[in-house]
Amino acid sequence: MDMDCDDTLATSGETKTRVGFLQTSPAIGALEKNIRQIEDLLEGQRAELWVLPEFALTGYDFVDVAEARQYAEEAPGGKSTSWLQSLAEKHNATFVMGLPEIFSGRLFNTAVAVGPKGFIGRYRKLHLFDREKELFEPGDEWLQVFDVGGVKIGMMICFDWIFPETARTLALRGAQIICHSANLVLSYCQKAMFARSVENGVFTVTANRIGTETHAGRSLVFTGGSQILTPQGETLAQAGTDTVEAHVVEINPEAALQKNVTPTNHLFHDRRTAFYGLE
């Protein structure tokens, strides 16, 4: 299912698009502090598409459902999406960011895309990680691709990386750029995104966070290493493991339309789905 939105990221032919990520260190519950960190990182930067981490404004490891509800909000309609729209207007850019969403009393781990003209779309995380299963419901909506000014973007969140079906579905639906908002704690996640890029012939932008979050007797260490990869798996930008950073690169999104590995091998047409025993 495609959703059309006339927004930023316009491209034609060899026109370049500037895409970037923010690698932040959010403190749990410190929304204003986390907002200031993001706004400071964006000063002097220019891109048409920005990807921010999972739960970039709230922190991650909530004690229980009650605390998760305290920070959850509607998407669209909540304070975070309203703030994100003001940011999009100021920078004339599309922003993708993760947040805890509440909908009809149910909690979801959600990523939103917001542009200067308003809310573009959302994605509710399908594959919950560890304690997330105690706090949130798994996503209940189809994976979607959003047409943003002629460039098709898809969203996935953190642990979705280990399920190749997520990125494959987005690519089959036409995504040229997969926006991957994350709070990665396992040491090998970033390496796996090489495969997600190459096997689907897409650009991937992983925005991870850094720091150690100690809350209610638990401690999580986030691995940083945010990155932008090409459809051939080349690293265009990569952040360190323990530093707050912003990176921007220029890409040609139309490179993700080319799915031939050789003149006679096509990533999608050569699939032998009748023999996979899954359909």
* Segment holding 166, helix H or strand E: helix 164-172
Burial class for 98, CB neighbours closer than 10 Å (0-12, 13-18, 19+): buried
**Of 48, 73, 125, 152, which is the active-site residue?**
125
**Of 5, 48, 54, 152, which is the active-site residue?**
54
Count of helices and strands (H, E) across the chain: 6, 17
Tell me what pLDDT residue 202 has: 98
Q: What is the full per-residue pLDDT of the chain (279 aa) written as tens digits?
A: 344 444 445 444 567 999 999 999 999 999 999 999 999 999 999 999 999 999 999 999 999 999 999 999 999 999 999 999 999 999 999 999 999 999 999 999 999 999 999 999 999 999 999 999 999 999 999 999 999 988 999 999 999 999 999 999 999 999 999 999 999 999 999 999 999 999 999 999 999 999 999 877 889 999 999 999 999 999 999 999 999 999 999 999 999 999 999 999 999 999 999 999 875
Tell me what pLDDT residue 279 has: 57
- Residue 154: alpha-carbon gap to chain centroid: 8
Any idea where the domains of the chain sit in the sequence? 2-275
Contact 110, 121 (CB under 8 A): no
Tell me whether residue 54 is one of the annotated catalytic residues.
yes
d(CA 107, CA 65): 9
d(CA 91, CA 76): 20
Exposure string (b/e) for 197-224, b if CB count within 10 Å is 16 or more? Answer: bbebbbbbbbbbbbbebeeeeeeeebbb
pTM: 0.93
Tell me what pLDDT residue 216 has: 74
Q: Could you give the angle at the alpha carbon of 74 between the alpha carbons of 2 and 46, nearest 5°?
A: 65
Instruction: Confirm or reject CATH 3.60.110.10 for domain 2-275, answering yes or no.
Output: yes
Tell me whether residue 125 is one of the annotated catalytic residues.
yes
Cβ within 8 Å of residue 263, ≥6 positions away: none
**Of 158, 179, 189, 213, which is the active-site residue?**
158
